[in-house]
Amino acid sequence: MNMNEDFLKSMKDAFELLRTKGPNEATAAVQRALAGVNAQAGRAPIPPMPAAASDWAQSWAQVRTQAQAQAQGQAHAQTHPRPNSHAPAPYTFDAETPGTFSTHTFSNSAGQRQYKLYVPAVYNNEPVPLIVMLHGCTQNADDFAAGTRMNEMAERHGFIVVYPNQSQAANRSTCWNWFKPADQQRDHGEPSLIAGITREVMTRYRIDAARIYVAGLSAGGAMADVMLKTSPDLYAAACVHSGLAYGCAKDLPSALAAMKGGKPQRNRSRAAPQRPLIVFHGEADTTVHPSNAVELVACFDAGTTISMPSAAASAPGNRRGATLQRLVAANGVEAEYWSIHGAGHAWAGGSQRGSYTDPAGPDATAEMLRFFLAHPHPHYAPLRGRFS
């Protein structure tokens, strides 16, 4: 058991003590956990994305005193350094991103969220696709844009990208709350905010209604699947990178269990998929177990499997190998599942300018765009133009 797992176990024990014996015993358990973290921090391996531990820390902060919340902040800082050796630099414009990257705020009855919007310089008021990008825990729009290179791809291919920003007030570690029932429903909570941001962009620019897509990493990937399942009339397809399936959790304990590969909740129906889905997941992901990727495509029928070996050592990026499964559900809806050999919890083929990226992996951004643009929404007549 590594330091990260030790800490999670200590937090669960403390939470149980809080319930059964009271705050004094629970606080003592937290202090013992922090002492162990401090003793090991100098020699611990760098852990992956901190969705599980940060959620336990958030839960503790919500039910205990301000002092206990501050203790959890210390634990997060000690146990979850960023996997990249450098902090991501603020997003800067260059020759590949000459468009506008602006900040906006959307509000509705569920609250408000900021979002960043990239409009490429090549936009000429003709209908274009729109891609909604949902960042992972501890990330933000600028970081996610830099790591995925989506603004560069938008400039190259002529689409618009919007990046909703999660609020620290809603989640201490800026994770999307994909595991909360209130945030798993259409027109409620965070799904209403993300859909509202999407529609606001549609009112400001000429968007091809047949080509609106949603994608995310980790907690953002889980929320992307929530959006696909709750708003299939709005989104033509989704990409879930290192994420989890809609409905696999209903609270923090079941979310943690699902992330570790535990048995998912079975109180949801295995209905036929309504929209196409592309899934990426590292085989060595210790933050979100790869079984979650299998769960995401469980409603699709088995199809063609293609093993793609690593490129030659001299090839740019020295890509990891991957196994690609192409699946087709009984109703004809398609999916792809990319299982990336030896990869951890990071965006495959991403740029080191952003956090939680694996430049050695296959190019998830390019493969996602290929899949998206091949799958327009069937309920809209695709508008004529460069994408039709």
pLDDT for 97 equals 74
74, 221: one domain: no
Give a yes or no: residue 119 inside a domain: yes
Q: Are 172 and 61 in contact (CB under 8 A)?
A: yes
Q: Are 382 and 252 in contact (CB under 8 A)?
A: no
The string of pLDDT tens digits covering residues 263-280 is 655 544 467 899 999 999
pLDDT for 114 equals 97
Number of domains in the chain: 2
75, 188: one domain: no
120, 231: one domain: yes
Is the per-residue pLDDT at 30 higher than 70?
no
- Region 71-75: mean pLDDT is 36
Which of 79, 114, 142 is the C-terminal boundary of a domain? 79
pLDDT for 35 equals 52
Q: Are 320 and 275 in contact (CB under 8 A)?
A: no
Least confident of 33-37, 142-146, 283-287: 33-37
Residues spanned by the domain of 11: 3-79
pLDDT for 272 equals 86
Give a yes or no: residue 94 inside a domain: no
109, 247: one domain: yes
Give a yes or no: residue 124 inside a domain: yes
- Between CA 100 and CA 31 the distance in angstroms is 48
Q: Are 123 and 203 in contact (CB under 8 A)?
A: no
Which of 17, 44, 79 is the C-terminal boundary of a domain? 79
Give a yes or no: residue 91 inside a domain: no
Is the per-residue pLDDT at 255 higher than 90?
yes
> Residue 244: which CATH number?
3.40.50.1820
pLDDT for 48 equals 37
Nearest alpha-carbon partner for 348 in 278, 279, 280, 277: 280
The string of pLDDT tens digits covering residues 179-229 is 999 999 999 999 999 999 999 999 999 999 999 999 999 999 999 999 999
Is the per-residue pLDDT at 75 higher than 50?
no
Mean pLDDT for the chain? 79
The string of pLDDT tens digits covering residues 302-323 is 777 777 776 533 345 557 899 9
pLDDT for 312 equals 39
pTM of the model: 0.75
Give a yes or no: residue 351 inside a domain: yes
The string of pLDDT tens digits covering residues 334-362 is 999 999 999 999 999 999 999 999 999 99
Give a yes or no: residue 92 inside a domain: no
Chain-centroid distance, C-alpha 47: 17
54, 137: one domain: no
Beta strands in the chain (DSSP E): 100-108, 111-119, 128-134, 160-164, 207-217, 237-241, 277-282, 304-308, 322-328, 334-340, 347-348, 357-358
pLDDT for 271 equals 78
- Between CA 171 and CA 184 the distance in angstroms is 15
pLDDT for 70 equals 38
More confident residue, 173 or 64: 173
Give a yes or no: residue 387 inside a domain: no
- Between CA 211 and CA 193 the distance in angstroms is 20
pLDDT for 71 equals 35
pLDDT for 293 equals 96
Give a yes or no: residue 251 inside a domain: yes
- Region 43-48: mean pLDDT is 34
